[in-house]
Amino acid sequence: MSKVIAIANQKGGVGKTTTTVNLGIGLVSEGKKVLLIDCDAQGSLTESLGYQNPDNINITLSSLMQKAIEEQPITDSEGILHHKEGVDLVPANIELSGMETALVNIMNRERALKSYIDTVKNKYDYVLIDCTPSLGMLTINSLAAADEVIIPVQAHYLPAKGLQQLITTVSKVKRQINPNLKIGGILLTMVDKRTNYAKDIARVIRMNYAKHLTIYKTEIPLSIKAAETSAVGKSIYEYDKSGKAAEAYREFTKEVLDSGKQRNKHKSEYIR
């Protein structure tokens, strides 16, 4: 069965897109078939996979969602791009900002993205959604479509402070829209292990949340190479395969693969 995972945090710049790319391609390297969905009108995921002019792409997530809403037929692989490292991509561009506004007036508006994903997910082992950095209608749609959510959190005070707000939103979506939604875990990103500050933030997050939620053992280190990958359209494995960030994302990928088997029952039922 396909698993749909939303990569979400309303705070920008915490590594959502980098995590989506490298988790997705990491899963491919483990023999999985993976679809990445860019659910951000800025098109960051699309650009990170080498499509530097997303506004020139004719078929994007916005047009596919519109078809799903109107119950128009969507042909096999329509609008899906293939990246040389093995992942498939549903791209996004500025048109998606119009879709966010249009969703307000659509019946069953929280499930528009799910309607599209349900037409394609059976061809994949994993569908990863790179969410927009907000708690707006597109993020609600992503959570409504997902089986679980992974929350990347930068080891800094403000991103950590906003974590509870996102957990509250996930809880509301679980209660009102998607009763099967779970928090897969919290991933600490951009961790500068040379500083006591980053170590302290990481320790506080683990202390406050580890009793109820999975905090991935892997911490993604602060890496200039990882930041550069979006400009070259490659994963960290292709760009700096021997670096610390590549090794961290390999370990994180293994944790995600193992998490479904090992997740403790009381943790998976924390959000109600």
Question: pLDDT tens across 26-57, in order?
Answer: 999 999 999 999 999 999 999 999 999 999 99
Residue predicted with more confidence, 26 or 210:
26
Determine the pLDDT at residue 264: 44
Q: What percent of the chain has pLDDT over 90?
A: 69
Is the pLDDT at 266 greater than 90? The verdict is: no
Give 10's Cβ-side CA count (13 Å radius). 19
CA distance 202 to 193: 10
Where are the alpha helices (H) located in 36-162, listed in sequence order?
Answer: 44-48, 61-69, 95-102, 112-120, 137-145, 157-161
Determine the pLDDT at residue 260: 61
Determine the pLDDT at residue 271: 54
Between CA 261 and CA 269, with CA 264 as vertex, the angle to 5 degrees is 115
CA distance 240 to 19: 15
The single-letter DSSP state of residue 134 is S
Determine the pLDDT at residue 210: 87
Ramachandran quadrant class, 13 (left: phi over 0; alpha: psi -120 to 50; beta: rest):
left
Reduced DSSP (H G I as helix, E B as strand, rest coil) percent helix, strand, coil of the chain, to 5: 50, 15, 35
For residue 199, what pLDDT band results from cuts at 50, 70 and 90? confident
Joined together, the tokens standing for residue 240 give 């700096």
Determine the pLDDT at residue 157: 67
Instruction: Answer yes or no: are the C-beta atoms of 145 and 4 closer than 8 Å.
Output: yes
CA distance 203 to 181: 27
Residue type, 238: E
Determine the pLDDT at residue 1: 80
**Is-above-0.95 flag for pTM?**
no
Please report the domains of the chain, with CATH numbers, ordered by start residue: 3-268 (3.40.50.300)
